[in-house]
């Protein structure tokens, strides 16, 4: 009976142990919302991307290129103003040996990075794709719109999105 008891104890699943941290990252740019970086083992979730965030990351010696998911809580300059800079920093921080920017491995980053936000986030992503030719890896980056952020539910896979509306040049703004 004692040997049977030991076998049962060895077959029990051991609890999973995770290393997690939460960092509040403030920018030195006035009116930029602070960002929150949650790290769980090798997964990094970034919430809000205010202007100047990439400088704050460098100052704090945090690697931007390891971010796996970016969540924007609303579409305003104080929460997404730094998104182009962070995406460019992600690309610039790579070394040639990473082999993730050009060639057949161009989509490697997108397998690790997803962009989440409220309705309209898809169009922000499309705008960023059009802004910079160097961001060709973004062509495959999953972008998720959260239809009702108050419910707390997040889709696990990108769903079909309607095509972006045609843009009309009104001089200064695209409408």
Determine phi and psi for 40, rounding to 5 degrees: -130, 110
pLDDT of residue 34 exceeding 60: yes
| Class of the CATH domain delimited by 19-151 | alpha beta
Distance CA 48, CA 46 (A): 6
Domain boundaries, the chain: 19-151
Q: What is the mean pLDDT of residues 94-114?
A: 44
Mean pLDDT of 49-71: 85
How many angstroms separate the CA atoms of 35 and 20, rounded? 17
Q: Going edge to edge, which strands form the sheet with 114-117?
A: 20-25, 35-40, 43-47, 69-71, 114-117, 143-145
pTM of the model: 0.61
Of 124, 108, 105, nearest to 116 by C-alpha is 124
Q: What three-state secondary structure class fits 74?
A: coil
pLDDT digits 0-9 by tens, 135-167: 565 666 777 777 766 655 555 555 555 555 554
Mean pLDDT, the chain, whole residue set: 70
Judged against a pLDDT cut of 60, whether residue 125 lies above it is answered with yes
With beta carbons less than 8 A apart as the criterion, state whether 69 and 37 touch.
Answer: no
């Amino acid at each position: 009976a004692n040997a049977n008891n030991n076998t049962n104890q060895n077959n029990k699943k051991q609890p999973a142990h995770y290393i997690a941290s939460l960092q509040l990252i403030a920018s030195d740019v006035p009116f930029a919302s602070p960002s929150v970086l949650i790290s769980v083992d090798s997964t990094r979730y970034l919430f809000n991307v205010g202007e100047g965030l990439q400088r704050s990351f460098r100052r704090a010696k945090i690697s931007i290129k390891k971010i796996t998911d970016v969540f924007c809580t609303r579409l305003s300059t104080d929460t997404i103003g730094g998104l182009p800079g962070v995406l460019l920093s992600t690309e610039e921080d790579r070394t040639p040996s990473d082999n993730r920017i050009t060639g057949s491995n161009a989509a490697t980053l997108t397998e690790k990075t997803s962009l989440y936000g409220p309705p309209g986030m898809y169009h922000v992503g499309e705008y960023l794709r059009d802004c910079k030719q160097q961001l060709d890896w973004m062509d495959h980056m999953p972008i998720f719109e959260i239809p009702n952020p108050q419910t707390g539910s997040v889709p696990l896979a990108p769903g079909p999105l309607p095509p972006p509306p045609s843009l009309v040049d009104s001089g200064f703004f695209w409408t």
